[in-house]
Amino acid sequence: MKRTLKIARTLIITFAIGSGTFLVYRTINQLLIPAEIVLLSETQLSQKGHELIYTFINEEINYKYKPLHEIAYLVKNQFSEIKNISITHIPKKLIIKFNIHKPRFVINDKKIFLESGIIKPKHFFDKNSIELLPKLSLNESLHSNKQFLNTCYSYLENISPELFENYDLIWKTEQEIWLTNKEQPRFSILSDPNSINNNQKLTLCSKLKKNIESKKTFSFTKSVWFADIRFDNQVIIFSRGGKGYGYNTYT
């Protein structure tokens, strides 16, 4: 009888220890393994952008069992829009804070040129944050040329807001840029990256346009006029199929 009681007591103690160990393990697991992802970011990111990042973390990487620095690396590597990211783990939650590179230009009405020199889809960004950005057209074949994009961005950054207000900018090749006057679409400027910010030439183009307008040329004919500012110290102006005239920028 005593032997039976001893065995029973041992079994009860073993069960109690085992149950306790399991409960402790389960509690630790609940505390250490994040069950919920919380994204905290600035307002420039759209709801769609949040969803893309959340889905990637939740479905594409095994975030519950990865070190925080590795999660941060994987997320930033997947979304180059992200400028800085920090991750904190609190009981049951993974808190992810990040900000994105500043949107600077709208490209082809469907993409955004960021301050980092990369182009990303427009849907990633909140509409209010990109509504007033300068707009331009950029040949699709140039979008994947990283070296060109860095150079292109540096030129665009120096363009005056007035130029974007007065002209539709079309960047056709690395060295060919067209500026079509919004007020008078039959007057365009042909430029290259080095001349696009030459205020002296652009001012001369405005004077030449006004001179053409004063002669009622746009009103009475269907002629299209071009001003080529790619030459040193002069602007060549001509109409389609017509003769060209050179004007010195110093006169």
Question: Which residue has 């992802």 as its token pair?
Answer: 37
Query: SS3 string of 49-103?
Result: HHHHHHHHHHHHCCHHHCCHHHHHHHHHHHCCCEEEEEEEEECCEEEEEEEECCE
Residue 208 has a CB neighbour count (10 Å cut-off) of 18
What does pTM read for this prediction? 0.78
Reported as a pLDDT band with limits 50, 70 and 90, residue 223 is confident
Q: What is the mean pLDDT of residues 225-238?
A: 91
Find where tokens 């990040």 sit: 98
Which tens digits make up the pLDDT trace of 6-36?
555 555 555 545 544 434 434 444 445 666 8
* pLDDT for residue 4: 59
Fold (CATH) for 103-248: Rossmann fold (3.40.50)
CB 225 within 8 A of CB 212: yes
State the Cα–Cα distance between residues 154 and 142, nearest whole angstrom.
15
Q: Residue 21: what pLDDT?
A: 44
> Which residue is listed with tokens 């060549």?
236
Report the amino acid identity of residue 87.
I
Tens of pLDDT, residues 73-87: 999 999 999 999 999
State pLDDT tens for residues 153-168. 999 999 999 999 999 9
CATH number of the domain at 35-100, please? 3.10.20.310
Query: Which of 171-181 are b and which e, b meaning 16 or more Cβ less than 10 Å from the residue's Cβ?
Result: beebeebbbbb
- Sequence length of the chain is 251
